[in-house]
């Protein structure tokens, strides 16, 4: 399983919190790339409820990881 920012961004609008099956269903219905669906299928925790993308990909960057200062613009 590998994630990139582009792949993970396809789950930003997912109905969080969600189970693995709900995320696969969302990815399928929203037309996400096959890599997203394959990554979700590789998750071992079948019954776990995921609160955010960080539960699936802990290295997902948050807004704090970017150095863009919105107050300047």
**CA gap 47, 10 in Å, rounded:** 22
Whether 36 is in a domain gets the answer: yes
The pLDDT of residue 72:
59
> Are the CB atoms for 27 and 11 separated by under 8 Å?
yes
Domains held by the chain: number: 1
Whether 51 is in a domain gets the answer: yes
How do residues 13-63 score in pLDDT, each as one tens digit? 999 999 999 999 999 999 999 999 999 999 988 778 999 998 998 888 765
* Domain coverage including residue 21: 14-59
User: Is the pTM for the entire model greater than 0.75?
Assistant: yes
């Amino acid at each position: 399983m590998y994630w990139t920012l582009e792949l993970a961004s396809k789950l930003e609008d997912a109905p969080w919190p969600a189970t693995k099956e709900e995320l696969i269903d969302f990815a399928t219905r929203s037309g996400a790339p096959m890599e997203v669906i394959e990554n979700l299928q590789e998750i071992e925790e079948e019954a776990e409820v995921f609160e955010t993308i960080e539960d699936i990909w802990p290295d997902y960057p948050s807004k704090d990881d970017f150095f863009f200062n919105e107050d300047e613009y």
